[in-house]
A and B are shown apart, each in its own frame.
Chain A
Amino acid sequence: MKRNGIGALVIVPLLSIIISFLIGCMIIAALGANPADAMRYLLKGSFGNMRNIGTTLSRATPLIFTTLCACFAYRCGVFNLGGEGQFIIGAIVACYIATKAPFTGFPAIVLCALAGAAGGGLWAAIAGVLKVWRGQNEMIITIMLNYVATLLMGVVYTNWLRDGSVPQTVAVPDETQLASFFGLRATVAFPVAVIAGIVLFYFLFYTSSGFQLRAVGLNMTAAKVNGFNVKRYLLMSFIVSGAIAGLGGALELLGTQLRLINGFAAGYGFDGVAMALIASLHPLAGIIVAIFFAALRVGSTTMQTATGVPTSVSDIIQALVIVFTVAGMAMVKLPEFKNWFARRARKEV
């Protein structure tokens, strides 16, 4: 039974991806294009050469951070939908330090990263406090705080840190920008994201604090009975997951966007939640899922220009993957489904 459970966690997302792609191919065929061609160019655009791979990884980096943020929070029983807000706050903090601090270069990068993480963590703590002491639904609170963060960023780039005529902030000084690999677009932020994923994985599954956090997430009442300080764990989960997102925001600013601008990070938070669910809340799988989605986004432009299939087909495929996976995951947890599965297993024996 346990093996079947784990199998479902892998099979449901894979099946969802296949079905979504099949539907996508049908749409493409209905538009009069050749689906095989379209898929080929999609792949070519995302992984066709070193440059494209670099672009895909650079696009995946912020998604990895928000995915890890969601993975960690959900593992600990905290439904943090505020990855986007925390990401943005991290970027705002980093933007202030990078452009205003009297020093540049490596020390500035380290300070930006730490302060960005702290900023994200504190922003998440608002929701944490309301959840722990007022018993409020953290999902609603974090959604609202996302909007507040986005609007606050708007004030920063149209007002407080505005540079010249275009509503955007000054660019991060050259020395404080993150180094990129072999002239590709991916920066050191990518390995940092991967390392963060590995650290999270190790922490959650191979340390006793990680075990305790997961225990709280799995069954809060039992954890309470066993003498865990549940409130402390919950608040800590908020802060750590917010810090991961905030770190991501800071690195995205220093590595890729270089300035705060309209549309920065739009949708990254919800994307992260969806990807974490598709990855069954496994940090390492989350990295792969984020790269997969980034590839779909990067490759769709090549697909559009080469075959005339609009990029929104790629958006629909991505959305369908989410729609099917979340429904599928819920389905395999249903008692009817479990019974049906158990009966079949017995028959085979």
Chain B
Amino acid sequence: MRKKLIAMVVTGAMIASMAPTFTAHADSHTVAMICDSSISDGGWGMACYNAMMDAAEKCGWETMYSDSIAQSAYYDTIVSYCDLDVDMIYAPGNQYTDAVLQAAEEYPDIAFALLNGGADTPAKAANGNVSSLLPDAQQIGWIAGALAGLMSDTGTIAFIGGMELDTTLAKYKGYGEAAAFVAEENGKSITLLDPVYSGDFSASDKGLEFAKAMMDQGADVFFGDASAVDSGARQAIDEANEAAGEIKVYDIAQPADLLGQNACVIGSQVTDNSVLIELSMKAVEEGKFGGETLYGTLQNGVLSAGELNADVVPEDVQAAYADYIGQMTEGTFLGGSETEAE
């Protein structure tokens, strides 16, 4: 028996002595992404991951990621990447703000790119090593809302959010005001249901039940930012359309062009986050990273409207929609009264 114990101790010691000194990728740069949804969620997580991959490929960076992490593990995961001496942490979502600020204070040499961070967040970082990548949430809402206003027959539209974040609320508001404005110009009226929040980004069954319940309330156009929850909602919409024998309820996807993923997707609000990430990577390479807010708008090409489903959206509506998008880009939409980014 004692022999066995000695053998164990020796094995343990051998493993311990093998521990090398570890420096991560000295010659090239590395970016690490954390995400609370899955990167294969067919929505937010997927688009943000692909954006990072695109930008990394252009800049020749290496990538790492952790997905489906719990809220309580945000900070832990960020810190474990910081300990690996990555150059940049990419956190796609407003909900990471506190964890990012906390880690940025402890790791002054690492750059933190916070997608959807607040405009005031970079100023809160003690070491000036946090940047907000901020796609204009109001414009995002507009892009979806104009299409919803044009396409809704029942006059009731819905929004499913992931968390009650400021950016989500701004999207919801933009969505509602654009839909109401467009509908009014076309002699209709629009009711936007109260927003619902799934509270997490992976419960696709919750999206399914939400969508069914909202269709019961008459909603026929859906928009949302809840990742896999949206996929569940689209499944429910597809089922309802199949039962009815025609596509009567529509979904507007985001943040990538998801036309064709589900039959109910009539168009997408597209956010090309890779442009913003690329800018951050360049800044890191030149040693100039930090403390700024990089806005993404229709004007600088980060935001755009994806292709429309020509089978469902009539040609005159397509033309009208293109016209509205033009107005948004020129800053004359909604009478040009609210063109400033929030």
Contact = CB atoms under 8 A, between A and B. Distances in A.
Interface in A141-187: 158, 164-168, 171, 185
Contact of A52 (B15, B18, B76, B83): B83
Interface residues of B, number: 36
A263 B71 contact: yes
Contacts of A266: 70, 72
A166 B163 contact: yes
A82 interface: no
A165 B64 contact: no
Contact of A44 (B22, B32, B79, B80): B22
B8 interface: yes
Nearest to B22: A44
Contacts, number: 91
A305 B24 contact: yes
Contacts of A7: 1
Contacts of A66: none
A79 B169 CA distance: 46
A39 interface: yes
B195 to A, nearest CB: 12
Given A44-B22, A52-B83, A261 B76 contact: no
Q: Is the interface of B mostly helix, strand, loop or mixed?
A: helix
Contact of A48 (B4, B22, B24): B22
A51 interface: yes
A32 B42 CA distance: 29
A264 interface: yes
Nearest to B199: A167
A171 B200 CA distance: 21
A97 B4 CA distance: 52
A257 interface: yes
Contacts of A45: 80, 83
Interface string A25-61: 0000000000010011101110110011001000100
Contacts of A55: 76, 79-80, 83
25 contacts: A14-B8, A18-B8, A40-B19, A44-B19, A44-B20, A45-B80, A45-B83, A51-B83, A52-B83, A55-B79, A164-B166, A165-B163, A166-B95, A166-B97, A167-B163, A168-B71, A261-B71, A264-B72, A266-B70, A266-B72, A298-B80, A302-B84, A305-B24, A305-B81, A306-B84
